[in-house]
Amino acid sequence: MASRHSFLAPVSPSSDQQSARQLVVESCTALVNLESVLKQRNQALEQHIEQQEEEKTKEKENFEQTLQNERCHFASKREYFWGEINEARRDLVRKNEAMDQLKRRLAAQQRTCDEERQRSDTLVQQNRDLHAHLTDIVNKNALELAEAKTKQAQLQRNAEHMERTLREQNTIFEQERARWQQGTCARSSGQPMVKSSLEWVMPHLRGLLEAYDREQGSASTNSQPTSESQAQPTTAVVTTDLTQNEDVARHLGQQDARNHAQLLEQERDAARTQHDISQRNLTERERVLTCPISLELFDDPVVTECCGKTFSSGDLRQALQRNSRCPFCRGSRVAFHQNRDLAKLVELHRTERSILGLPELPAPAHVNTATEERRPHTSSGRTHDRHASSGRTRRHRHHRSERVQARSNLAHRQPIRPHGQASEDPGSLHQSNSSRNAYSTRPRATSSATPRDANDRSSFLTLLAQRSRASRDLFTNLQRAMVRDSNRPLRDPRSHQHASTSRHRRQSLDSYMHDHHQLERDVSYLSTEELGSSSGTSSRLTRPRLNSSTSSSDSD
């Protein structure tokens, strides 16, 4: 405005003032109008701003409400999804655990199937072996039964022939005695010396007949030639002239001495034969009682539960230290328990060897201590193990060669037969056919354990009786163990292991039953010989011996 007034002033001062006043008035009016317009506009704007602020406030409140709702919804959704995720994770963990458990169960089932397959293969092989063994036993029993029947028929024929011979000899003796009595009555007045000679000769004649009866009772095959050879001297002695009484007495005395010596020799041969049979039975039993690892007698025997095989405890532990599998069935899990019955069998076997006078077996030694003391210590343990194993191998070979040599020497033995005796030994009626075939060709050496006199025979009978009682006790214990194993329930997982153990016990029991019956027959035979030699009665000695021989053949 000042610039405008300054610009208009030179034109006209009055007009300028008027115009200035007018302009001032107009400007004031315009300013007032503008101010009013601005106020209105400002009010309108303020109202609009207030409305916008109210709308913004409402929108903000709505937005905050919506945001709160969205946050709550998001939190609920997040919790829901996290719960689903955790549940899915837990399901995944459970499924993984179930899958691992199924994998372990599948692996266990696979191992069980492999073990069952191996066990079934082992059982099939054992079944085949048992079937073959059973077939051999059946064939052997059939042969033994046929031989026993043949032997029984032969013994029956021998008994009948001996009874007929005895009746004939008794008839001849009665006739000769009646004739001697008639001649004695006729010549009693004129020949008193002859009567005294006959009274002195008759006891020798009776002793000769009793010795003849005993010899006939012990003989089985050569009874007829012997009876004929003795009947002729008897008849010759009875029918000789009365003037040869001294020669008859001397001849009877010599014949009695020869018969007595022959009976003693037969008794010794029977004892030696029994000794050799016992030695052979011990050798066969020793083959059963030998550990397959150490090739020696069992020392603290144990039975494996996987295959039922018996080993020595120390040798089995050493074998398991070298290889954890079973030495017989190659099973992976090897568990074992003690076999006390077999330990008793081993002790009884050692006792029998000492009774029969055999050399003592070497004590089991798992470690050669003397060799280890002399062996220098090296830095490597492999050399030490190699030396120890080579020492054990040499020791096992040495023991095995000794046993093989003893068996070969035992198989070549045969009882020594006296001069003039038949090919079959009359004192061997109680032997089995197998032992008779084994002693058929080669002579037998004299044993140091044979009883030579009455005291030795009595002590030998006492030892045999003790062995019989020990065998009977062990037989009872084995029967109880077999009954206990047979009563075991079938649901027991170790029933097949106890079945194999029972089978081994049954085999040992059968072998021991055979040896026990053989021993009882030998004891009864030797006792009968002892009673016969002490009493001197021929009839009571001959018939029981025949009956015992017949019963032994029946039992075989």
Model pLDDT for residues 123-178, shown as the tens digit of each residue: 999 888 888 888 888 888 888 888 888 888 888 888 788 788 878 877 887 787 77
Tokens (6 digits) for 242:
């009365």
Report yes or no on 282 lying in a domain: no
From 191, 215, 240, give the residue that closes a domain. Answer: 240
From 89, 108, 127, give the residue that closes a domain. Answer: 108
Report yes or no on 468 lying in a domain: no
Helices (H) and strands (E) in the chain, counts: 13, 3
Rounded to an integer, the average pLDDT of 525-531 is 54
Report yes or no on 226 lying in a domain: yes
From 87, 108, 129, give the residue that closes a domain. Answer: 108
> Which residues, in sequence order, are CB contacts of 536 under 8 Å at separation 6+?
207, 210
Lowest pLDDT segment from 73-82, 265-274, 546-555: 546-555
Question: In this structure, how many other beta carbons lie within 10 angstroms of the beta carbon of residue 507?
Answer: 12
Q: Provide the number of structural domains found in the chain.
A: 2
- Give the pLDDT score at 89: 92
Report yes or no on 504 lying in a domain: no
Question: Do 104 and 25 share a structural domain?
Answer: yes
Whether 209 has a pLDDT exceeding 80, the answer reads no
Report yes or no on 487 lying in a domain: no
Whether 445 has a pLDDT exceeding 70, the answer reads no
Best CA proximity match to 449, nearest among 350, 515, 349, 354: 354
Highest mean pLDDT among 309-313, 478-482, 546-550: 309-313
Whether 521 has a pLDDT exceeding 50, the answer reads yes
Mean pLDDT (the chain, rounded): 68
- Give the pLDDT score at 170: 78
Rounded CA-CA distance 280/239 in Å is 51
Whether 552 has a pLDDT exceeding 60, the answer reads no
- Give the pLDDT score at 231: 44
Residues 45-89: tens digit of each pLDDT: 888 888 888 888 888 888 888 889 998 999 999 899 999 999 999
Question: Do 177 and 102 share a structural domain?
Answer: no
Greater confidence (536 vs 394) lies with: 394
Rounded CA-CA distance 380/555 in Å is 63
Best CA proximity match to 155, nearest among 236, 67, 217: 217
Query: Phi then psi for 301, rounded to 5 degrees?
Result: -65, 145
H helices present in 336-430, as ranges: 340-355, 369-374, 381-411
Whether 370 has a pLDDT exceeding 80, the answer reads no
Whether 308 has a pLDDT exceeding 50, the answer reads yes
Whether 396 has a pLDDT exceeding 60, the answer reads no
By CB atoms closer than 10 A (0-12, 13-18, 19+), residue 433 is middle
Report yes or no on 507 lying in a domain: no
Residues spanned by the domain of 42: 21-108
The band of 539, judged by pLDDT with boundaries at 50, 70 and 90, is very low
Strand partners, 290: 297
Q: Which long-range contacts (C-beta less than 8 Å, at least 24 apart) are formed by 45-48?
A: none
Predicted structure pTM score: 0.26
Question: Do 168 and 104 share a structural domain?
Answer: no
Percent of the chain with pLDDT over 90: 10
The band of 504, judged by pLDDT with boundaries at 50, 70 and 90, is low
Tokens (6 digits) for 545:
């011996």
Report yes or no on 183 lying in a domain: yes
Report yes or no on 91 lying in a domain: yes
Tokens (6 digits) for 102:
């199924």
